[in-house]
Each structure stands twice: as structure tokens, then as C-alpha cells.
Amino acid sequence: MKGQKGFTLIELMIVVAIIGILAAIAIPAYQDYTGRAQASEALSATSGVRADIAVYLSENDELPGAGDDAEIDANLAALEGNYFAAGGAILTGDGVISITFNSGVHSGDTMTLTAEESTAGGQIRKWECDGLDSKFLPSACRPDGS
């Protein structure tokens, strides 16, 4: 008698089922990871302008709004990334930066970065993100309790 070689149909079907289950779990997790990475780009791209806002606060004892500082407005307008175009980042309020995404997972969505002033004043304690689903917000700027 010859020994059996290869895999049976049942064994192959089990392997395919296991791969399908793993893919069903991995694909949504990967999409969440991709969305957070794209949102993080907006946070890192605005780091220089956020430093300019901190300097403005220390020199003027107030957060800048739209039109208060031409250099900050120009620097924001010139910013562009892989997922937002030049002009997609603007100062919309006192220490509030809005970034509108034009591609990727968040295409058409707007993320806001809001400066939170320290209780002593004159310094920014932290930046809070908002506008996107909380699972996509970068951990560095999530609101307290998220």
C-alpha cells in the first residue's frame, strides 16, 4: 500500500476558514490604524505654527485669532501634507486651528486643534483635538477622559 501524500479537502477548507477569520479581524484594525496615522499628520505638520501661537501668547498674554498675526496666518496657509492641501489649515478662533482633509480616510472631515492655556496664564498647557471620531484622534491631543 502507498501512503497518502498531500492534504485532504477538509484540511484545506479549515486553513482557508482560519485565514478568513483572521482577515475579518485584521482589516478593520488596520483601517483604524491608518485613520489615526493620517490624523497624526495634521498634528505633526502644525507643530511649528503651534509653537508660533505659544510665542504669541507669551508676548501678548492672549491667544491669536484669525487675522491677529499675519505671519501665523501665512504659515498656516502654506502648510500642506499628504492628506490636506495648502490652505487646508486655518486659524478659526482664539488658539483654534482647523485642518480640513482632502484625501484619505478623513477626506472632507475637519479636525480642530484647540490650545488650552495654563491656569497661571502665558503658556499653553496642552492641545486638544476634536472633530474626528475619537478612535482616530492622536493620543497626544485627545480630550481628557477619551
The single-letter DSSP state of residue 135 is G
Strands of 124-130's sheet in order across: 89-93, 96-100, 110-117, 124-130
Judge contact between 72 and 52, C-beta under 8 A.
yes
This prediction has a pTM of 0.80
Band (pLDDT 50/70/90 cuts) for residue 142 is confident
Q: How far apart are CA 72 and CA 56, in angstroms?
A: 9
**C-alpha cell at position 85:** 492641501
> What tens digit of pLDDT does each residue of 23-33 get?
999 998 898 89
**SS3 category, 14:** helix
Domain 9-141 has CATH 3.30.700.10: yes
> What tens digit of pLDDT does each residue of 65-89 get?
888 889 999 999 999 999 999 999 9
- Half-sphere CA count of 70, side-chain side, radius 13 A: 0
